[in-house]
Amino acid sequence: MKSLKTTFRYLFESAYGSTNYFVARWLFLRALGLIYFSAFFALLFQVRGLIGSQGILPAADYLQTVRALGVLRFWYAPTLLWFASSDRLLMALCWIGLIASILLVANSWPRAMLVVCFLCFLSFVSAAQDFSGY
């Protein structure tokens, strides 16, 4: 009973919880990891049909058009798909993002996993054209 009372104090009383944001940080990182997981899990099944080489709006065609901007292309389309926009790389980015999101939920190297998730997701959003223009 005493530990339950202490837990409620820690969570809800400003005198006990205002100086330590561990619980909020813990919850936020787990929630963010789950959001990234759901995004990469959905992309796993859709990415080849949307922006793959035989997809509706292939990323390779879009990046070829943006390449005409010169150095500014990295500002207008910040993506790892500049190295290659093959279906293999698209799937590899999905799997890397999925694994990084699971590791984020498991609290393994959270800062590094946040960077990996962000870079992988940014790569898709930048190359997805109309599909990410919401």
The answer as to whether 112 is a domain residue is yes
Q: Residue 113: CA atoms inside 13 Å, Cβ hemisphere, count?
A: 21
Give the residue with greater pLDDT, 85 vs 26: 26
Assess if residue 13 is contained within a domain: no
State the pLDDT at residue 114: 95
Residue 124 lies in a domain: yes
What is the pLDDT, as a whole number, of residue 80?
A: 84
Alpha-carbon distance of 132 to 127, in angstroms, equals 8
Identity of the amino acid at 57: L
- Name the 3-class secondary structure at 62: helix
Instruction: Confirm whether 2 is domain-assigned.
Output: no
What distances in angstroms separate CA 114 from CA 73, 102, 110, one per listed residue?
24, 11, 6
Neighbouring residues of 58: CB distance < 8 A, sequence distance ≥ 6:
51, 52, 85
pLDDT surpassing 80 at residue 9? no
Going by pLDDT thresholds of 50, 70 and 90, the confidence category of residue 57 is confident
Output the pTM of the full model.
0.78
| Residue 15 placed within a domain | no
Within a domain: 1: no
**Which tokens hold the place of 44?**
């796993």
The answer to whether residue 21 sits within a structural domain is no
Structural domain including 90 reads 27-132
The verdict on residue 19 lying in a domain is no
Backbone phi, psi, residue 106, to 5°: -80, 0
What pLDDT, on the 0 to 100 scale, is given for residue 6?
74
When pLDDT is averaged across residues 18-38 and rounded to a whole number, the result is 86
How many domains does one find in the chain?
Answer: 1
Higher-confidence residue: 47 or 129? 47
Q: Pick left, alpha or beta for residue 59 (phi over 0 → left; psi -120 to 50 → alpha; otherwise beta).
A: alpha
